[in-house]
């Protein structure tokens, strides 16, 4: 058993089960609690060296019928993730882009989802990763082997991706992911163009050292919308003090909150779909609303709650650390 500050089990359980296109029974009423508020209620705990992720977090493995979030023709942004893990597919005229890979062993699931949409996963040219935690990076090595795509990531997350570890908790094998070689690093503000699609990288660190958010314009009808793929700003299993998960983590979180304060994307997408209320938006889309995912107020509202939760977690961890030292 290994101790980690902010239990992985409690933290990740904060991402409550939700239903998108799954035929599973609706979750209990307790699952409707505000997942952002629950982030501030972390406790210290122990986890086994080999945690049964599938048993503890079944929504991360529950299949969802892939669908287009927004776009015209065959262009746009598609959802190819599971019920609890957001994974995004972006076709272009010169090959395709994929953001995140889900849990270890989910690479084939993602490839099959892309085929269901009418695309060939072998046409994927670029793999991107929001951050180097196993629930989002775990399937990247398999996907790289399946597609031959180039892996592009931030320098801050490169060591964790290539080493297959959770930075700062390298000895906690339960959080390991299959290592994946990074073919190219990308810097803050750098653009990435493939065919007719251009994405801009925004380093938003804290949740991980190289946490990377992406923005891109997307057209539907005669209008262009700005889409944001947001990395994360939850504390999750991170130690903020005694010792911190990595040097400068507290300053990084605060820089991210400050930097994003004025962001107002038309569409914001998250790697845990419930954070962007995507299941509700998907239901509206299926009911006939083509712009169901356009939500200009959702991102600032989410960030305000995440910042509040961060400050509460910092205070809690600091008090506990000081008490232990005394």
| C-alpha atoms less than 13 angstroms from C-alpha of 2 in its C-beta half-sphere | 13
Contact of 121 with 146, CB cutoff 8 Å: yes
Is omega for the bond preceding 243 within 30 degrees of 0, making it cis?
A: yes
Closest CA to 235 of 259, 261, 207, 213: 207
SS3 of 18, please?
coil
Residue 14: what pLDDT?
Answer: 37
Residue 48: what pLDDT?
Answer: 60
DSSP assignment of 57-83: -GGGT-----EEEE-STT-SEEE-S-S
Contact of 104 with 139, CB cutoff 8 Å: yes
In the chain, where the domains are located: 2-25+34-55+65-325
Closest CA to 213 of 198, 225, 197, 200: 200
This prediction's pTM: 0.89
Largest Cα–Cα separation, the chain: 64
DSSP assignment of 241-290: SSS-SSTTHHHHHHHHHHHHTT---SEEEESSGGGGTHHHHHHHHHTT-T
Closest CA to 314 of 234, 259, 255, 256: 234
Residue 74: what pLDDT?
Answer: 87
Q: What are the mean pLDDT values of the chain's consecutive 10-residue runs (326 residues total)? A: 35 37 38 43 50 90 98 94 98 98 98 98 98 98 98 98 97 94 98 98 98 97 96 95 96 98 98 96 98 98 96 95 86
Q: What are the tokens at 193?
A: 């163009």
Q: What angle do CA 140, 85, 145 make, to 5 degrees?
A: 15
CATH number of 2-25+34-55+65-325: 3.60.15.10
Distance (Å, rounded) from C-alpha 160 to C-alpha 130? 13
Burial class (CB in 10 A: 0-12, 13-18, 19+), 190: middle
């Amino acid at each position: 058993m290994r101790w980690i500050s902010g239990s992985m089990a409690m933290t990740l359980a904060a991402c409550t089960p939700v239903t998108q296109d799954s035929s599973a029974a609706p979750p209990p009423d307790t699952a409707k609690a505000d997942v952002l508020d629950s982030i501030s209620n972390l406790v210290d705990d122990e986890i086994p060296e080999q945690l049964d992720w599938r048993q503890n977090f079944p929504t991360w493995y529950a299949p969802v019928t892939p669908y287009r979030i927004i776009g015209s023709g065959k262009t746009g942004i598609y959802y190819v993730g599971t019920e609890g893990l957001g994974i995004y597919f972006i076709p272009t005229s010169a090959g395709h882009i994929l953001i995140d890979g889900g849990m270890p062993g989910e690479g084939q699931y993602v490839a099959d989802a892309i085929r269901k949409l009418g695309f060939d996963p072998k046409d994927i040219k670029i793999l991107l990763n929001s951050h180097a935690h196993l629930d989002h990076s775990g399937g990247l090595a398999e996907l790289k082997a399946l597609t031959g795509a180039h892996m592009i990531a931030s320098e801050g997350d490169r060591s964790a991706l290539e080493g297959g570890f959770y930075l700062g908790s390298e000895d906690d094998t339960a959080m390991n992911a299959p290592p994946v070689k990074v073919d190219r690093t990308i810097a803050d503000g750098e653009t990435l163009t493939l065919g007719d699609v251009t994405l801009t990288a925004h380093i938003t660190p804290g949740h991980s050292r190289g946490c990377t958010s992406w923005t891109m314009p997307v057209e539907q009808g005669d209008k262009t919308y700005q889409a944001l793929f947001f990395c994360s700003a939850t504390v999750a299993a991170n130690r903020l003090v005694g010792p911190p998960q990595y040097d400068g983590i507290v300053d990084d979180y605060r820089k991210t909150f400050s930097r994003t304060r004025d962001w107002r994307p038309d569409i914001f997408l998250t790697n845990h779909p419930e954070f962007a209320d995507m299941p509700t938006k998907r239901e509206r889309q299926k009911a006939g609303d083509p712009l169901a995912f356009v939500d200009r107020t959702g991102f600032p509202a989410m960030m305000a709650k995440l910042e509040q939760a961060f400050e509460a977690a910092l205070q809690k961890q600091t008090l506990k650390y000081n008490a232990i030292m005394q």
